[in-house]
């Protein structure tokens, strides 16, 4: 359980978003999965999570996102195979300019076959898009 292994997980995660690879993103989570945001807590099964991911593809595309990066800013081992990560995201346009950036905390477990996220706090992402006047969920 190293920072390099987590960075690899998030590099693949961001790449899957850019390829609109729903299957890879669903596979990166264990279910039920929890995502909390200022509007409330959401618990997803795989099918509901899949629909949420597909909606995010459209949202990011409408904002002009062409590429994304995800880098682990910090990690803390909480128990055997369990880690809390603070992950920095940046969404860029075709010219490489930053459209939005934020940090998301995640809880992940490594059950021996790689990391799987099981919880995230989306407050900073919600705030980053709201600051641009493009609240998540809007068209």
Using CA atoms, how far residue 110 sits from 1, 84, 100, 119, 135, in Å, is: 8, 12, 29, 13, 33
Residue 113 is predicted with a pLDDT of: 86
- Give every CB contact of residue 7 below 8 A, 6+ residues apart in sequence: 71, 72
Which of 3-7, 46-50, 133-137 is predicted with the least confidence, judged by mean pLDDT?
133-137
Is pTM beyond 0.75? Reply is yes
Whether residue 139 has pLDDT greater than 80: no
Average pLDDT of span 16-26: 94
Q: Which residue has the tokens 């997803």?
A: 44
Distance of CA 39 to the CA centre of its chain: 17
Which DSSP symbol is given to 100?
Answer: E
- Rounded-to-10 torsion of CA 8, 3, 103, 76: 140
Residue 137 is predicted with a pLDDT of: 55
């Amino acid at each position: 359980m190293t920072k390099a292994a987590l960075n690899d997980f998030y590099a693949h995660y961001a790449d899957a978003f850019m390829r609109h690879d729903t299957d890879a993103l669903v596979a990166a989570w264990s279910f039920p999965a929890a995502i909390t945001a200022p509007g409330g807590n959401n618990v997803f099964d795989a099918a509901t999570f899949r629909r949420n991911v597909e909606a995010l593809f459209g949202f990011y595309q409408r904002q002009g996102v062409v590429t994304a990066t995800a880098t682990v800013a910090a990690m803390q081992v909480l128990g055997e195979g369990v880690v809390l990560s603070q992950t920095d995201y940046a969404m860029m346009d075709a010219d490489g300019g930053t459209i939005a950036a934020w940090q998301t905390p995640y809880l992940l477990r490594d059950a021996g076959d790689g990391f799987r996220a099981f919880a995230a706090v989306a407050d900073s992402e919600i705030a980053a898009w709201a600051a641009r006047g493009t609240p998540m969920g809007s068209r």
